[in-house]
Chain A
Amino acid sequence: MTAAALDRPATAAPRVRAALQDPPLVRTALIAVALGFVGLFLLLPLVAVFTEALSAGVGAYFAAISEPIARKAIELTLLVAAISVPANAVFGVAAAWAIARFEFRGKRLLVTLIDLPFAVSPVISGLVFVLLFGAQGWFGPWLAAHGVRIIFAVPGIVLATTFITFPFVARELIPLMQEQGAEEEEAALSLGASGWQMFRRVTLPNIRFGLLYGVVLLNARAMGEFGAVSVVSGHIRGVTNTMPLHVEILYNEYQSAAAFAVASLLALLALVTLVAKRALEWRMRRETGS
């Protein structure tokens, strides 16, 4: 499936035999090129986030991230994640169960549909919700009549974020559950377990690391989403600005250090995500390897 590659477990240790060693010169050159590329394109930007954030001093740094509007942005980001992550996790588990354990017509279509948000530009993802719920959208008049605001308000942000991130858990669990097979669950049933007992005692424990992995990725994306949220939020300071949008505002107002200060929090989240991802990959590899 598209981008399944991104969730791949980490590389195992290299296993190259003596007859196949590349000449040392080639090896050094390739390693240098690879490290140079990584250093220039990945490490440099990361370091720059933090140096820029602290460029106005530590005091300014803390002022920027504790400033009331910044705090509101942080709260909104956390709220959106708190809603979209569990919702998509439940969907992911349900969809994976249906797809991995049963045969039915249209299964292929369902799987492709689940991949859809990965193919769609974030901006378009936001656009479609504007078309549905915006003032001139399908439901616009109805919503206005009932005093409900979705676009340019928090619900719209939640919807757009949920749309963007909904494949993560499903795509992680489907191959995992297919690989594990249904035998343990059949065994549980044959021993007298009810459907829920089987799910709670056998299915969930078996998929827990895959589930956590998907949740970690989902969370990172939910908190960092920019394009889709930008379209639906209306950029109302203190109300409909998530952290990424707040960063944009600060940057456009030439408050560079403050922008980077808030950005550094997101960068820290990214680093934590990378660490968690690695740790979970390692655990999952250990489980399937033994």
Chain B
Amino acid sequence: MASARNRVLPGFGLTLGFAILYLSLLVLLPLSALFLRTASLSLADFAAAVASPRALAAYRLSFGASFAAAAVNAVFGLVLAWVLVRYRFPGRELVDAFVDLPFALPTAVAGITLTTLLAPNGWVGQRLQPLGIEAAYTPLGVTLALTFIGVPFVVRTVQPVLEDLEVEAEEAAASLGAGRLQTFRRVLLPTLWPALVTGSALAFARALGEYGSVVFISGNMPLRTEIVPLLIVTKLEQYDYAGATAIASVMLVASFALLFAINSLQAVGRRRLTGAGSEH
């Protein structure tokens, strides 16, 4: 029975007080500074900063490339999760551990490496050139970099769901005459769907704010290959605090909305699995 255990277990006041203090100083205070600063802008200035052609181009690139990267990761992440959970092959454990690389590797390292690989004289860039594909300093390069950093998100969200799947459901489908593809489409995919969408949403959210991996490969040409985080940094360096803050708050609102959506999705996914309401 997990009901009120206040005042029996010790340390409630101490730990909660400390946690709230820490949180307020480190998180709430800084974030409120952002919103208050934005609020001090006149509506006209805000609109000018937030809706300038340069900003709009940056939104298009950031959202577009992040979405594309998330979509790619949705497909390949599902395949990867499936292969890791369902099949045995030499090196499986190694590959499984390796999936976390983008999460452990500093973004700057990823950034310079991907740029070097995709540059016209890089290992990959060399092979793409004859095909007429330019990766470095283009939106394509941005998308590829964002795909790299998003790999773990879909895989790690889908894996546990795959592992916990009731094998009996598939056996029932097979006994009723369904082929593997049918079983996958009708029985497995509906169960995996929430996890898949959640993982993709996580990858999308991460890609949206990504800076280090992308800033080297994008070339940062305004209106063409400038992502939103870079736009913010550029404005800061020009001491255009107002502009930077305005755009940052737009991004922040989008991120919070995304966070909220993801949490709701995860609650849905949990309810599907356990049949109960979420804890907390």
In the bound assembly, the distance between CA atoms of A161 and B80 in angstroms comes to: 32
Max chain B C-beta neighbours (<10 A), residue from A101, A114, A115, A131: A131
- Chain A's nearest CB lies how many Å from the CB of B96? 5
In the bound assembly, the distance between CA atoms of A110 and B97 in angstroms comes to: 32
Which residues of chain A from 7 to 43 have any CB-CB distance to chain B below 8 Å in the complex? Answer: 8, 10-17, 19-20, 22-23, 26-27, 30-31, 33-35, 37-38, 41-43
Residues of chain A with a CB closer than 8 A to B112's CB: 247-248, 251, 259-260, 263
In the bound assembly, the distance between CA atoms of A226 and B113 in angstroms comes to: 15
B34 interface hit (Cβ, 8 Å): yes
- Give 1 or 0 for each of A214-239: 1 = CB within 8 Å of chain B CB: 00010010011111001100000000
* Cβ-closest chain B residue relative to A198: B10
**A136 with B241, Cβ < 8 A, contacts A45-B110, A251-B112 known:** yes
- Give 1 or 0 for each of B153-194: 1 = CB within 8 Å of chain A CB: 100110110010001001100110000100000000000000
- Give 1 or 0 for each of A152-191: 1 = CB within 8 Å of chain B CB: 0000000100110010000000000010001001100100
Stretch at the interface among B48-56, B128-136, B201-209: B201-209
Residues of chain B with a CB closer than 8 A to A244's CB: 106-109, 212
Interface size counted on chain A using CB atoms at 8 A: 115
Interface of A is mostly: helix
A128 interface hit (Cβ, 8 Å): yes
A208 interface hit (Cβ, 8 Å): no
In the bound assembly, the distance between CA atoms of A130 and B116 in angstroms comes to: 32
Residues of chain A with a CB closer than 8 A to B228's CB: 121
Q: Which of A2, A3, A107, A199 contacts B11 (CB 8 A)?
A: A199
Residues of chain B with a CB closer than 8 A to A186's CB: 8-9
Asked if B98 and A97 sit within 8 Å, CB to CB, the answer is: no
Residues of chain A with a CB closer than 8 A to B107's CB: 122, 224, 226-227, 244
- Give 1 or 0 for each of B104-120: 1 = CB within 8 Å of chain A CB: 11111111111011000
Mind listing 18 A-B residue pairs with CB under 8 Å?
A8-B156, A8-B159, A33-B79, A48-B117, A94-B14, A94-B15, A102-B12, A121-B209, A124-B252, A127-B236, A128-B33, A131-B33, A166-B22, A182-B5, A225-B106, A251-B112, A251-B216, A270-B109
In the bound assembly, the distance between CA atoms of A116 and B211 in angstroms comes to: 18
Residues of chain A with a CB closer than 8 A to B245's CB: 127, 131
Residues of chain A with a CB closer than 8 A to B262's CB: 2
Asked if B163 and A127 sit within 8 Å, CB to CB, the answer is: no
B248 interface hit (Cβ, 8 Å): yes
Q: Which of A3, A4, A189 contacts B9 (CB 8 A)?
A: A189
Give me the interface of B with A, judged by CB distance under 8 Å.
Answer: 2-6, 8-12, 14-16, 18-20, 22-23, 26-31, 33-34, 37, 76, 79-80, 82-89, 93, 95-114, 116-117, 123-124, 147-148, 151-153, 156-157, 159-160, 163, 167, 170-171, 174-175, 180, 198-199, 202, 205-206, 208-212, 216, 228-230, 232-233, 236, 239, 241, 244-245, 248, 251-252, 255-256, 258-259, 262-263, 266, 279-280
* Cβ-closest chain B residue relative to A50: B113
Asked if B97 and A10 sit within 8 Å, CB to CB, the answer is: yes
* Cβ-closest chain A residue relative to B214: A227
Which residues of chain A from 89 to 133 have any CB-CB distance to chain B below 8 Å in the complex? Answer: 91, 94-95, 97-98, 101-104, 107-108, 110-124, 127-132
**A267 with B86, Cβ < 8 A, contacts A5-B157, A44-B117, A195-B10 known:** no
Asked if A94 and B100 sit within 8 Å, CB to CB, the answer is: no
Asked if A132 and B30 sit within 8 Å, CB to CB, the answer is: yes
In the bound assembly, the distance between CA atoms of A166 and B209 in angstroms comes to: 18
Asked if A14 and B88 sit within 8 Å, CB to CB, the answer is: yes
Give me the interface of A with B, judged by CB distance under 8 Å.
Answer: 1-6, 8, 10-17, 19-20, 22-23, 26-27, 30-31, 33-35, 37-38, 41-46, 48-49, 52, 91, 94-95, 97-98, 101-104, 107-108, 110-124, 127-132, 134, 136-138, 159, 162-163, 166, 178, 182, 185-186, 189, 194-195, 198-199, 217, 220, 223-227, 230-231, 243-245, 247-248, 251, 256, 259-260, 263, 266-267, 269-271, 273-275, 277-278
- Chain B's nearest CB lies how many Å from the CB of A232? 10
**A122 with B209, Cβ < 8 A, contacts A6-B153, A30-B83, A107-B280 known:** yes
- Chain A's nearest CB lies how many Å from the CB of B46? 16
